[in-house]
Amino acid sequence: MLSSLPDAFAILFTVEGIATLILGTTLGIVLGAMPGIGSTVAVAIVLPFTLSMSQAPAILLLLAVYAGSVYGGSISAILINTPGTPQSAATCLDGYPMAQRGEAGLALGWATQASIVGGLVSAVVLIIAAPQLAAFALQFGPIETFALILLGMTCIVSVSTGSVVKGLLSGMIGIFLSLVGGDPIIGEFRFTFDNWQLYSGFNLLAVVIGVFALSEVFMRASAKITSVSELVSFRGIVFPKLAEWRGRRRNLAKSVLIGNVIGVLPGTGAATAAFISYAEGRRSSPHREDYGKGEPDGIVSSEAANNAVTGGALVPTMALGIPGDAITAVMLATLTLHGITPGPKLVEDNPVLIGAIFAGFFIINLLLLPLGTLLSRVAAPLLRVREAYMMTAIVLLCALGIYFVRGNPFDLLVMGLAGVGGFILRRQGFPMAPLVIGMVLGPTLELTLRQGLILTDGNFFAFFESPIALVLTIVAIAALSLPLVRAALRRKPA
């Protein structure tokens, strides 16, 4: 791999190569920042253009849009409390409170630096250790994945601001919403009441946008308008000084690691990584008390992890020919169209091309810094409009984004209902992040549990014969009981 890098750079540093990287990353950031578009749709939008491009630029364009959109999602999460992509939902939790304090620029600065570190490290790991990591990914069968998702579910407790009971209820609502639609094992429809619009269940993105963005608009509309002040005071990115990173590097490193490992495992994804990393930060960060109130560490946890997933997801894709998610599946299809057969011999047969892709991926992550800064400067004046106009624009953007994803007006209805439901729940003090976790992780939890039970002939305890599953389950139990133990220890001396 390393020996082919000189030839790879020759492919990259052409006019076409550089233009592709810059345009693709810019487009990715913009599309990712648009509420409701999401990484998968962003990649699908540029897909037709790749058909007329040559091999390396075609894949690089998709990669640039992918990495750019994951970063771009954080911009709208911080500025308008609307996760542009589901994987930025955890970024809202601390990013938006910071923005409300008037530190929107700084919040974006933290997010940008964390995203870049996450992406760069994952690119290096991809270049150095893809085959080894791919072998590790193969160790994760349904049973191991179930245990990992179980661990992810414990995040509901850590992201429940206020009442844990309300957080758990909110998580249950999320899981229930995810049960609507086709049964993953026998294929029968559940909770659809013979309405074909419900066959595919509720659109995740529509629900996420509804409960975060639309409910926020309702909250503001219901509040008394006393001023026509700016929504957030934002003049462009402000980067935190290096000294401010002191005491936060461990959290950063841990988040990058979590993102990388989870990214490698097919079928888990960036949203899972961001939430698990956020929960871990909330457990171990020296600033854990401030999580949820606008703590930079919270942004770092989420953003470093979700960007580290991008490189991780390429590991099984490139080393085994197995797509980790819908986006890498699109990349594999594009490779096929360009006459390259993805599979275990992909790297062996096309070392220069793969070298160019990996090196290009590294450069894309570097490009996030100047392009992110530039784009946020351009966007800043747009945010300085009156709140009423801004809110209207948010509703319109969300509706457009949601409609584009599947071309189904029913999704707009789902978004609207989720907005009203989210508004009612939030006024009663229910946190919305657990609902998203439930909806993101619910289907995988159910599928892997039932797959595991098929494999073990219905014996749940056989799950723990897998060492990986056993360790992950113990970690999950520890994560849940740690706060109780801490509280008990604190009480004893008194």
Partner 1 sequence: MTIRTSAAALALAVCFAAPAAAEFPERPINLIAPFNAGGGTDLLLRGFAPHFEEAIGSPVFVSNMSGGSGTVAASALSGQRPTGYQMAYMSITVSTIQPQIKNVPYDVDSWTPICSVAASPTLLFVNNDSPFQSMDDVVAAVEAEPGKYVFGSSGPGAMTHLTTVAAFSGLGILDKLKHLPFRGSGPAIKELTAGNIQFFGDTEVLMQRGDFRPLMVFNDERLENYPDVPTAAEVGIEAPLNELYLWGGLFAPAGVPEDVVAKLAEACETAVNSEGFQEFATSSGTVINHRGPEDFEAFFRSQYEDNRALIEAAGL
Q: At closest approach, how far in Å is the CB of 474 from partner 1?
A: 23
The mark string for 304-343 relative to partner 1 (x by CB under 8 A, - otherwise) is ------------x---xxxxx-xx-xx-xx--xxxx-xxx
Question: With contacts defined by CB under 8 A, how many residues of the chain interact with partner 1?
Answer: 62
The mark string for 351-390 relative to partner 1 (x by CB under 8 A, - otherwise) is ----------------------------------------
Pick from 54, 139, 428, 481 the residue near partner 1 by CB under 8 A. Answer: 139
Distance CA 93, CA 434 (A): 11
Question: Where on the phi/psi map is residue 342: left (φ > 0), alpha (ψ -120 to 50), or beta?
Answer: beta
Q: At closest approach, how far in Å is the CB of 64 from partner 1?
A: 16
CB atoms within 10 A of CB 488: 10
Pick from 18, 100, 182, 468 the residue near partner 1 by CB under 8 A. Answer: 182
Return the residue matching tokens 């592709």: 20
Distance CA 299, CA 77 (A): 10
Closer to partner 1 by Cβ: residue 143 or 383: 143
Distance CA 360, CA 357 (A): 5
Q: Which of 59, 60, 83, 62 lies closest to 73, judged by CA?
A: 83
Distance CA 129, CA 443 (A): 30
Determine what percent of the chain falls in helix, strand and coil, rounding each to the nearest 5: 75, 0, 20
Q: At closest approach, how far in Å is the CB of 455 from partner 1?
A: 7
Closer to partner 1 by Cβ: residue 51 or 487: 51
Pick from 196, 222, 228, 490 the residue near partner 1 by CB under 8 A. Answer: 196
Q: At closest approach, how far in Å is the CB of 454 from partner 1?
A: 6
Largest CA distance in the chain: 72
Stretch that binds partner 1, among 43-51, 241-249, 251-259, 422-430 (CB under 8 A): 43-51
Residues 6+ apart with CB under 8 A from 421: 210, 211, 215
Return the residue matching tokens 């002191």: 246
Closer to partner 1 by Cβ: residue 407 or 493: 407
Residues 6+ apart with CB under 8 A from 15: none
Name residues contacting partner 1, limited to 451-490 (CB under 8 A): 451, 454-455, 457
Helix axes 351-379, 296-320, angle to 10 degrees: 150
The mark string for 406-445 relative to partner 1 (x by CB under 8 A, - otherwise) is xxx----------------------------------x--
Return the residue matching tokens 């269940």: 201
Pick from 14, 54, 132, 197 the residue near partner 1 by CB under 8 A. Answer: 197
Report whether 149 contacts 272 (CB < 8 A): yes
Helix (H/G/I), strand (E/B), else coil: 296: helix
131 lies in the site for partner 1, by CB under 8 A: no
- Residue 350: both structure tokens together: 């096309």
Count, in order, helices (H) and strands (E) of the chain: 21, 2
398 lies in the site for partner 1, by CB under 8 A: no
HSE at residue 177, side-chain half, CA atoms within 13 A, is 27
The mark string for 46-85 relative to partner 1 (x by CB under 8 A, - otherwise) is -xx--x----------------------------------
Closer to partner 1 by Cβ: residue 118 or 324: 324
Residue ranges binding partner 1 (CB under 8 A): 40-41, 43-45, 47-48, 51, 137-139, 141-142, 181-189, 194, 196-197, 199-201, 266-267, 316, 320-324, 326-327, 329-330, 332-333, 336-339, 341-345, 403-404, 406-408, 443, 447, 451, 454-455, 457
